[in-house]
Structure 1
Amino acid sequence: MATLYHHPFCPHSRFIRLVLSEFGMEPLLVEERTFERREEFLQMNPAGTTPVFTEDQIGAVPGASIIAEYLDETRGLALGDRRMLPSDPAGRVEVRRLVEWFNGKLFDEVSSYLVTEKVFKRYMPANMGGGAPDMAAIRAARSNIRYHLAYVGWLIGSRNWLAGDRLSYADLAAAAQISVADYLGDVPWHENEMAKNWYARVKSRPSFRPLLADRVPGMEPAPHYADLDF
């Protein structure tokens, strides 16, 4: 049986939830609060980060990029022209480059700040960093997201999807990272119509519906968050 240890507002977890859904998989979802440092979870992933994927034949597969590669290696060929990694080496390089950009650079500069300060700190004890959000970090994230949004718009201006002609891991990684900022109302969509139209296409996919249903208790999403037409 497949299980995904995740957090609903961990953007890396959201990426893998989208991937699994696009693969037609419905794993058991186990919510993990990584700041609790649960011993059983640390045994699966000593880094203490989500997501972690498990199934009987492999054991624990930790980390979004490793999970995505594992799923492509074990199930990608069966998807045919819906495969999330292209078959040609150059295409695979471009998808991997963009996945690294969004899951690495965008996460470090935007979504990590926003989720930590606005969501996770609400549940963390004070001795583990919980408490009031750091507004300087939030302002930095809001500034940084502008050039990431511009980059999405630039990419989609000459391509059907971010990495080329077909939907790929690159689109799912970017959308997952942006989705948490969108929930919090921190995406300036008015600044880039191309990026906005791309995101509307991705969030209209059936795989995105569970993410649009996620809620932070006591914090409603931005009004347009679950609106497929913005």
Structure 2
Amino acid sequence: MLRLDGKTLSESQAICELVEDLYPTPPLMPRAAEEKYEVRRLISWFDDKFYHEVTSKLLYERVHKKIQGLGYPDSKNVKTGAVRIKYHLDYLGWLLDQRRWLAGDAMTLADFAAAAHLSCLDYISDVDWNRNANVKDWYAKIKSRPCFRTLLVDQVPGFRPPAHYADLDF
């Protein structure tokens, strides 16, 4: 959700593209059609596949259920999410072996979509940053961006982030 000029906006991809249109420098969406496709493909990967296989399994079970008083985490879902995140981290590592950023040689909206999910999971200590050095280095670069640093000071009542969460050089 984003408040802009007194309006409340929703839907992450629409918000990201609006921000890109309003503040085009530096560009976060490439100009070439094939490169735009790759950015959109990766955003969908994270907002759909990663969300359903990992974020919803771990974040919902560990945080949302507690906040909403819906009982204890379902261990089957937690285990499934913990297994699936490894596959996704390996895929990110493979992408970063080929490219400087997830979708190519420049930082894009795809990097922020991925980092948004990983930041939530990192907050609850569900990301093994030792699994792939390229992924850890990429995430450290994202964390050091001024626009991302402000997110790292947010706290969820009743949940303390790990010591490395706000550390830019973790």
Look up the match of 2:146: 206
1:153 counterpart residue number: 93
* 2:170 corresponds to 1:222: no
The CA distance in 2 between the partners of 1:61 and 1:208, in whole Å, is 19
Asked whether 1:121 is paired with 2:65, we answer: yes
Length, aligned pairs only: 170
Gaps of 5+ in 2: none
Q: 1:30 corresponds to which residue?
A: none
Residues 4-60 of structure 1, C-alpha deviations (whole Å, 9 max, x = no match): xxxxxxxxxxxxxxxxxxxxxxxxxxxxxxxxxxxxxxxxxxxxxxx355545xx55
Displacement of 1:161:
0.8
The question of 1:66 aligning with 2:6 is answered no
Per the alignment, residue 110 of structure 2 pairs with 170
Calculate percent identity across the aligned residue pairs. Answer: 42
Residue 195 of structure 1 and its aligned partner are, at CA, apart by 0.8
Q: Distance in 1 between matches of 2:65 and 2:4?
A: 28
Alignment counterpart, residue 191 of structure 1, candidates 131, 143, 149: 131
Q: Aligned partners of 1:52, 1:197: CA distance in 2, in Å?
A: 28
TM-align CA RMSD: 1.6
C-alpha distance in 2 between matches for 1:218 and 1:98 = 32
Shift of 1:207: 1.3
Question: Given that residues 113 and 138 in structure 1 are in contact (C-alpha distance below 8 angstroms), is that contact kept between their aligned partners in structure 2?
Answer: yes
Tell me the amino acid that sits aligned with residue 103 of structure 1. Answer: D
TM-score for the superposition, normalised by structure 1? 0.69
Map of 2:33 onto structure 1: 89
Three-state SS of the structure 1 residue aligned to 2:85 is: helix
Matched, 1:99 2:43: yes
- Residue type of the alignment partner of 1:195: V
Partner Cα separation in structure 1 for residue 51 and residue 134 of structure 2: 21
Question: Offset of 1:75 from its aligned partner?
Answer: 1.6
Moved over 3 A (4+): 52-56
CA distance in 2, matches of 1:148, 1:124: 28
Q: Distance in 1 between matches of 2:54 and 2:155?
A: 20
1:75 equivalent in alignment to 2:22: yes
Bigger radius of gyration, 1 or 2? 1
1:41 corresponds to which residue?
Answer: none
TM-score by length of 2: 0.92
* Deviation string, structure 1 residues 114-160 (Cα, Å, up to 9, x no partner): 221111112214xxxx1211111111111100011011111111211
